[in-house]
């Protein structure tokens, strides 16, 4: 896989008029000298769930798709436009695990870089502790291939590709 680049290195043409006069305008934006269009590469919102089973083990999932196919991750995903973080996480858990949310409480957030399609997508990962409606008959669906449970201190950090996920695990270990 090729190294992901910052969007400022990738976008060469104005998305509004198609001009080649798209120029750097600060660290996270470009402006078209031809039509005046100004685009900011803002942070995308993402959500993750911390779910414990009755043994006190935390749920991690195996990624079924790139980037990082086969590696561990917390259940969750990107927040859709006009969707709250809470609604997004409930939707993602239904899509990935096949069950609903009973309770959800904010835990923490961490910045992250998600490599996708050759671009570095800067994210803010919003993390919630979640109690599911049911822990029985969970099935990996959508973009996960497996559901696994680990004691937080025993997770191999090399299996977590995202720095934000490692930070979540570290914070979990501090709270236990």
Q: Count CA atoms within 13 Å of residue 127 on its CB side.
A: 18
Instruction: Enumerate helices (H) and strands (E) in the chain, giving the number of each.
Output: 3, 10
pLDDT for the residue 15 = 93
The bridge status of strand 119-132 relative to strand 44-50 is parallel
Instruction: Match 């973009």 to its residue by tokens.
Output: 143
Instruction: Match 């996480």 to its residue by tokens.
Output: 89
pLDDT for the residue 5 = 86
Q: What are phi and psi of 169, to 5 degrees?
A: -60, -40
pLDDT for the residue 26 = 86
Cα separation of 24 and 165, whole Å?
31
pLDDT for the residue 63 = 96
pTM: predicted TM-score of the whole model, two decimal places: 0.90
Per-residue confidence of the chain (176 residues) as pLDDT tens digits? 568 888 888 889 999 999 999 999 988 899 999 999 999 999 999 999 999 999 999 999 999 999 999 999 999 999 999 999 999 999 999 999 999 999 999 999 999 999 988 888 999 999 999 999 999 999 999 999 999 999 999 999 999 999 999 999 999 999 87
Q: Residue 110, SS3?
A: strand
């Amino acid at each position: 896989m090729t190294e992901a680049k910052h969007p400022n290195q990738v976008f060469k043409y104005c998305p509004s008029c198609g001009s080649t006069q798209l120029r750097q305008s600060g660290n996270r934006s470009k402006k078209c000298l031809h039509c005046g269009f100004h685009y900011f590469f803002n942070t995308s919102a993402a959500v993750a769930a911390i779910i414990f089973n009755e043994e006190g083990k935390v749920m991690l999932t195996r990624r079924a798709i790139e980037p990082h196919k086969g590696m561990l991750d917390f259940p969750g995903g990107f927040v859709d436009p006009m969707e709250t973080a809470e609604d997004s996480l409930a939707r993602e858990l239904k899509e990935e695990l096949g069950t609903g949310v009973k309770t959800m409480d904010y835990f923490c957030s961490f910045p992250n870089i998600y490599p996708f399609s050759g671009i570095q997508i800067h994210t803010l990962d919003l993390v919630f502790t979640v109690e599911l409606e049911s822990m029985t008959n969970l099935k990996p669906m959508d973009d996960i291939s497996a559901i696994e449970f680990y004691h937080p201190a025993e997770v191999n950090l090399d299996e977590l590709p995202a720095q934000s996920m490692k930070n979540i695990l570290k914070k979990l270990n501090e709270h236990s």
